[in-house]
Structure 1
Amino acid sequence: MNWQQVIDPFGNIGLSALLAVVPILFIFWALIIRKMKGYQASLIATVLAILIAISAYGMPVKLALLSTVNGALYGLFPICWIIITAVFLFNITVRSGQFQVIKHYMASITSDRRLQALLIAFAFGSFLEGMAGFGAPVAITAALLVGLGFNPLYAAGLCLIANTAPVAFGSVGIPITVASQVTAIPELAISQMVGRTLPLLSVFLPFYLVVIMAGFRKTREVWPAIVVAGVSFAFLQWFSSNTLGPALPDVIAGIGSIVSLIVLLKFWKPKGTWRFPNEPAPTILNDINYTTGQIIRAWSPFILLTLVIIAWGLKPIKDVFNAVGQVQFEFPGLHNVILDTSGHAVPHLFKFNYLSATGTAILLSALISIPLMGMRYREATKVFGETLRQLTFPIITIAAVLGFAYIVNDSGISLTMAEALANTGVLFPFFAPMLGWLGVFITGSDTSANALFGKLQASTATSIGVDPVVTVSANVSGGVIGKMISPQSIAVAAAAGDLVGKESELFRFTVKHSFYMLMAICCIVLAQAYLFSWVVPHYQMIAAGAASVIPDFTEGYLYLLILAIVLVVFVAAVKVINRKKVFPRISQ
């Protein structure tokens, strides 16, 4: 028996929207005012959403519970799988003692916390977002910064805020690909429009990050680095998104920003070294000089991670992995049972793509790294068990958050809020980014938000005489701002930043910055819609029924062979460089 979604249960969209927003307002209240732990707030919000779905929206109890379970499973895989493997990779680097070498190396480049944040949270995080996404960049960069001695709250908060710049082009452009699929607007057109919006934020973001850390006066001391990081990133993001499409802007801009900063720091250093107030003096001994081989070995987990993540992001490799290593099934009792407002059945397919998952790429990097760092696999197994215990509450939080996202979407609660915003008429371009922001807050994913609201954005824009690429791109751009306060992202950052149980502090740290940036994006989009319409790219809608391309597995196997050769050569090179001398394990 089917059940059809309801958007306006009270027959008044304003009243219905007031009820629909209650679970979200509860999350804000619980984390900001009540200061609840993340898993508590998420579980209660999920129960609240279930009750509203059943009582007000008429959703059958069975469907409401099944929808929540489906979301929780998605939270466990692939989201939690990424977090577990990312934290495991970092933990074995610390346990082996090699992170001490990394700390010394970073200090040799710069021991200034402001510049380390630009290098790791902003530039390196953007690169990882371009290749992996789904929380991996925040997990890895936050753990790195905490390991370097950052205040945990600032490490996690800065990584969340820095992650706004690249999210739209994350995972080799998947968010924009999905937006194109649901709207029939070409990928390149959406990429170009986003690439004419987000660089305005990206060029300003390094300055904003350092001001948050150190205040305006101390920010002026590192203005050359801020300018170099922001301008290089924004220019490359704009150029690649407008000429190459959505797949590579983060990778190109992230690498360009890293290289530009390192080159600058070869010729320029700030007059003083800034560290956090009350931070202990650095314990790195200046009389220790590590060889190039030692440095490469210490960085090998992250070098391997980069190589493997790049390969995992290639479509031919994904096709091969999904062909031989993916289990897909229709979720029992839920698949095609719910009908959307148009009467179309909503599919619920669970994909267990255990080979192509980003978490598997991270795990492979860790497994190869273990012997390179002088560890035994038996010891690494113990570290993995400790990692699972460390992440118990974040796993519960993420499962609850995704359960919340699924019940809110399947019941029609999220569509009620979207419909209310769509009724704002000519002001809709101003509110369009808010819709993307809301979608990412709920789902934790810009990709999911585009799938959820992309079609509504396009149809509403057309009805008021605005080019739909403006509002569809606004959904993408607004979504990146919601990423920093999404309960899913907060849970990931808290787990990596050693802030488990303190999610409310992290949420309060980021929420005001999310609202500031959201208002800026809303004003930019409104101006693009009516004042600067010349920035809108020219394009033709994608014709319906375009032929699909059959995956070329031969190409995928060739790429895998190349990856295997590269990994073998890298491992052999590290061993050769270090074989002349056996290095003792470095005390932590």
Structure 2
Amino acid sequence: MATESVLAEYTQVYDPLGHSLALSSLVAALPLVVLFVLLGVVRMRAWLASVIGLLVSLVVAIAFYSMPAVDALNSGLLGAAFGFFPIMWIVINAIWVYNLTVETGHFDVLRRSFASISDDQRIQAIIIAFCFGALMEALAGFGTPVAISSVMLIALGFRPLKAATVALVANTAPVAFGALAVPITTLATVTKLPVDDLGAMVGRQTPILAVFVPLALVFIVDGSRGLRHVWPAALLCGVTFGVFQYVASNFWSIPLTDIIAALASALAVLAFTRVWHPREGYVESSASDPAAVHEAHAGARSPLGGGNDPAAATRTQATGDRTAPDGRGEVLKAYAPYLIIIVVFVIATRVPVITGVAPTKPGASGTGLEAATWIYNWPGLHILSDTGKTVATTFKLNVLSAAGTLLLVSGLLTMLALKVGVGQAVRTYGRTLDQLKFAIVTVMAVLALGFVMNESGQTQTLGLWLAGAGGLFALLSPILGWLGVAVTGSDTSSNSLFGALQVSAAASVHLSPTLLAAANSSGGVLGKMVSPQNLAIAASAVGLDGREGEIFRRVLIWSVAFLAFMCVLVYLQTTPLLSWMVI
């Protein structure tokens, strides 16, 4: 039996080509190069590009890294399973809640409510994509803020392509503290560094980024003219978010950092717009723009691209002609789903008797909601690192405490609040699954690709090669985090993958391990917008399935520009100029 166990183990190798990290890195990067070229140059549909990228990663793992075919395929299965649960489980239920509000007409009420705050789309982009999106990131994470904020922008009259771009770029600064700071706690676990120190250090990097993100959103919506007209509100929003993100992460509560910062920035903008208005308003008109008309027709099929929806067209026509203001009861119902989501998540994640204690290893039991949590050793997958340590290949099935399940509960409560019948809710859920089918395939394929690269050693090869830069590694450190998130779509996964490597590299070049570990998370947030799974979620949400490559090209410049900024910031934090910022 022991012999069979040894035979079943695969030991990772990080320099399979002539024991050269440089040569091996060229091969290890092939799956990513193929994936991004197919998306950005060939303009292939995301699900097909992801499947091809997965096949390339399998070939590289088997042919160059000598990984048994069975282990390579099994690693892909583990990644695909993780792609569906918890990631797509979150997105499916988030979009279902949204679809319930569309079916009942309450989303139109919400749209009019937001429009009453300001009919200027540049201000709406700041409030919805940045502030409200940050709140959704704080509570659920993964693709939830992109999915929900993009369809809200569509309802306010944004062109589908612009709505997707704005939602993706906005989903940056809050990511490191998303899902109640799970990326930070994961980073602390893998690095053995104090979670308070890591949270505080990230809170001295991403708040600076946050200052510029609302300005970028205004530029995306209306170019340089938008910056000239709306920079006071954008700057106020970014500075307020950054200040409260810094204060909360360093002095108050790391898990509540984004909630505090999102609410503070939203209130600041709302108060400011009561006494200040742009010199000229901006509402995009698509009537004279053929490209906009084409996008509008594409998005009009359904907010999720699921086919023609005559009922939705009727509602749109009716609401377009509406002149009477909505009653307070209707407005409250419109906000109810999102208030329910906030309450459910706060109770489920912050009330100890309900939250309970999660199991920490296979076979252990939890309490509270975590009593329905099981951790499995993935069958047939036994992997060792090059040092002989066992590589974790577990799968966590937290049925009740998962963010997707909490969104499902929120949806059930939304049914009661909006008086939606069971039959209608079930039909809506079925349509949601149909609308997201290609996004589900894309996300599962991308996560399978990421896990094959991780388990075979391809990702570690790229990381070790970058870590060989010596003292300049501080300049490259955020790129590792960016790479991890670009592949997996998750800052949590990136921290789990590269956190320990960052600490090891820091020790070898005599830099602060806390600084470089934090840089992994801060750099990672900028890979979120180019992650194929997030691109697929955004495209599906706005009804532009198959145009992920076009969205990718629009957000890539912002991802690279912000990443360069973060690289310079982290490097300067290793010099006397900004070393005072380091924990």
Alpha-carbon deviation of 1:132? 1.4
Q: Please state if 1:362 is matched with 2:369.
A: no
Q: 1:103 & 1:512 partners in 2: Cα distance? A: 30
Q: Secondary structure of the residue that 1:328 maps to in structure 2? A: strand
Give the equivalent residue in structure 1 for 2:450. Answer: 405
Of 193, 198, 215, 1:185 maps to 193
Look up the match of 2:325: 289
1:3 aligns to 2:50 (yes or no): no
Q: Which residue of 2 aligns with 1:33?
A: 41
Residues 136 and 312 of structure 1: is their aligned pair in 2 closer, same or farther, counting only changes over 3 Å?
farther
d(CA) in 2 for partners of 1:530, 1:264: 38
1:167 and 1:268 map into 2 onto residues whose CA distance is 30
5+ residue gaps in structure 1?
A: 539-588
C-alpha separation between the residues in 2 aligned to 1:371 and 1:239? Answer: 38
**Any idea what SS the aligned residue of 2:375 has?**
strand
Corresponding position: 1:433 with 2:478: yes
In the TM superposition, residue 329 of structure 1 has moved relative to its aligned partner by 2.2
Alignment partner, residue 497 of structure 2: 452
Match of 1:91 among 73, 96, 99: 99
CA contact (8 A) 1:187 1:245 kept: no
How big is the shift at 1:321? 4.4
User: Which of 369, 374, 381 is matched with 1:327 structurally?
Assistant: 374
Q: For residue 278 of structure 1, give the secondary structure of its aligned residue in structure 2.
A: coil
**Per-residue deviation, 1:218:** 2.4
SS in 2 for 1:190: helix
Please give the residue correspondences for 1:92-131 in structure 2 after superposition, counting only pairs within 5 Å.
92-131=100-139
Q: 2 CA distance for matches of 1:209 and 1:128?
A: 18
Residue among 417, 422, 426 paired with 1:372: 417
Look up the match of 2:513. Answer: 468
Match of 2:282 in 1: 274
SS in 2 for 1:530: coil
C-alpha deviation, 1:208, in angstroms: 1.1
- The answer as to whether partners of 1:176 and 1:190 remain within 8 angstroms in 2 is yes
Give the alignment's TM-score, normalised by structure 1. Answer: 0.88
Q: Deviation string for 1:524-580 (max 9, x for gaps)?
A: 111111233532444xxxxxxxxxxxxxxxxxxxxxxxxxxxxxxxxxxxxxxxxxx
For the Cα contact (< 8 Å) 1:189–1:537, is it kept in 2?
no
Q: Which amino acid aligns with 2:82?
A: Y
Q: Distance in 2 between matches of 1:404 and 1:321?
A: 34
TM-score norm. by structure 2 comes to 0.89
Shift of 1:219: 2.1
Q: Distance in 2 between matches of 1:252 and 1:279?
A: 40
What is the identity, as a one-letter code, of the residue corresponding to 1:325?
A
Structure 2 unaligned segments of length 5 or more: list them.
1-6, 289-315, 357-366
Among 332, 348, 355, the alignment partner of 1:318 is 355
CA distance in 2, matches of 1:374, 1:279: 37
**What's 2:239 paired with?**
231
- Choose the corresponding residue for 1:304, options 340, 354, 357: 340
Match of 1:9, SS? coil
Deviates more, 1:135-144 or 1:158-167: 135-144
Q: For 1:382 and 1:112, locate their aligned partners in 2 and report how far apart those are by CA, in whole Å.
A: 35
Q: What is the one-letter code of the residue matched to 1:168?
A: A
Instruction: Determine if contact 2:370/2:401 at 8 Å carries over to the other structure.
Output: no
Decide which of 253, 257, 270 is 2:265's aligned counterpart.
257
- What is the Cα deviation at residue 364 of structure 1? 1.2
CA offsets per residue over residues 289-342 of structure 1, 9 Å max, x none? Answer: 2221110012211111121122233273332444322233221101xx110111
For residues 35-67 of structure 1, the C-alpha deviation after alignment (integer angstroms, 9 at most, x for no partner) is: 000000000000000000000000001000101
> SS at the partner of 2:574?
helix
Pairing partner for 1:343 from 374, 384, 388: 388
Deviations 1:442-468 (A, max 9, x none): 111111111111111111111111111
1:302/1:4 Cα in 2 relative to 1: closer, same or farther (>3 Å)? same
Check 1:164–1:79 CA distance in 2 against 1; reply closer, same or farther (3 A cut): same
Aligned to 1:203, the other structure's residue is in SS state helix
Following superposition, the deviation at residue 375 of structure 1 comes to: 2.3
Do the aligned partners of residues 145 and 279 (structure 1) sit closer, same or farther apart at CA in structure 2, a change above 3 Å counting?
farther
Query: What amino acid is aligned across from residue 258 of structure 1 in structure 2?
Result: A
For residue 54 of structure 1, what is the aligned residue in structure 2? 62
Q: Is the 8 A contact 2:111 2:152 kept in 1?
A: no
Structure 1 segment 135-146 matched on structure 2, within 5 A: 135-146=143-154
Q: Which range is displaced more, 126-135 or 415-424? A: 126-135
How much identity, in percent, do the aligned residues show? 40
CA distance in 1, matches of 2:63, 2:161: 39
How many residues end up aligned between the 2 structures? 536
Return closer, same or farther for 1:160/1:313 CA change in 2, 3 Å cut-off. Answer: farther
Give the corresponding residue for 2:141. Answer: 133
1: CA distance between counterparts of 2:350 and 2:457? 35
**C-alpha contact (below 8 Å) 2:370/2:400 kept by paired residues:** no
- Does structure 2 retain, via aligned residues, the 8 Å contact 1:9–1:57? yes
Tell me which moved more, 288-297 or 58-67.
Answer: 288-297
Give the Cα–Cα distance (whole angstroms) in 2 for the partners of residues 362 and 503 of structure 1. Answer: 26
**Does the Cα contact within 8 Å between 2:515 and 2:582 map onto a contact in 1?**
no
Q: Secondary structure at the match of 2:573?
A: helix
Range 316-325 or range 35-44, more displaced: 316-325
Partner of 1:329, secondary structure, is strand
Instruction: Measure the CA separation in 2 of the matches of 1:385 and 1:150.
Output: 27
